[in-house]
Structure 1
């Protein structure tokens, strides 16, 4: 068993107010808790990992080339590998979510990314 206390987990803040926290996981899957300020959007991106995005608090809109869906607390969406997407906080309050990736990944996806 490997415990990862939230306050001791690896954290990455790509932009002010957009914070990601690496939770327990492995090479086969990983969990990233995240928060986004109002009106924030991640850049359009894709990755080899399958992804499930779960909204924990607030409102998140997930946009792909073909459609968009707005998630409220406890709603989720599945994204195929290599499916271009972005995640936006379309609400007036901070939004909190949990991303699950298979296979697992590290923050290198963001830090080593070319624009």
Structure 2
């Protein structure tokens, strides 16, 4: 067993107010808690990992090259590996979510980008 207390977990802030917290996981899968301020969007990107994005609080819209879906609390979306996407807080309040990646990944995905 490998517990990860939230207050002691590895944290990364790619942009002001967009915070990601690395929760328990492995090379096979990882969980990342995240928060986004109103109006914030990640850049359009893709990755080798399948991803499930679960909204815990607020509203987020997930955009792909061909579609978009707006999610509220406890709604989720599955993204295939290499599917280009971005996630935007389209609500008026802070949005909180949980990303699950398979295979697992580290924050290097964001820190090593140019």
Q: Given the two structures, how large is their TM-score scaled by the length of structure 2?
A: 0.99
Equivalenced residues, count: 114
1:11 positional shift: 0.1
Q: Distance in 2 between matches of 1:61 and 1:97?
A: 12
Residue of structure 2 equivalent to 1:70: 70
Residue of structure 2 equivalent to 1:61: 61
1:113 positional shift: 1.1
Q: Distance in 1 between matches of 2:16 and 2:109?
A: 18
Q: Given the two structures, how large is their TM-score scaled by the length of structure 1?
A: 0.98
Which sections of structure 1, spanning at least 5 residues, go unmatched?
A: none
The CA deviation string for residues 61-86 of structure 1, in whole angstroms up to 9 with x for no partner, is 00000000000000000000000000
1:24 positional shift: 0.1
Residue of structure 1 equivalent to 2:6: 6
The CA deviation string for residues 27-85 of structure 1, in whole angstroms up to 9 with x for no partner, is 00000000000000000000000000000000010000000000000000000000000
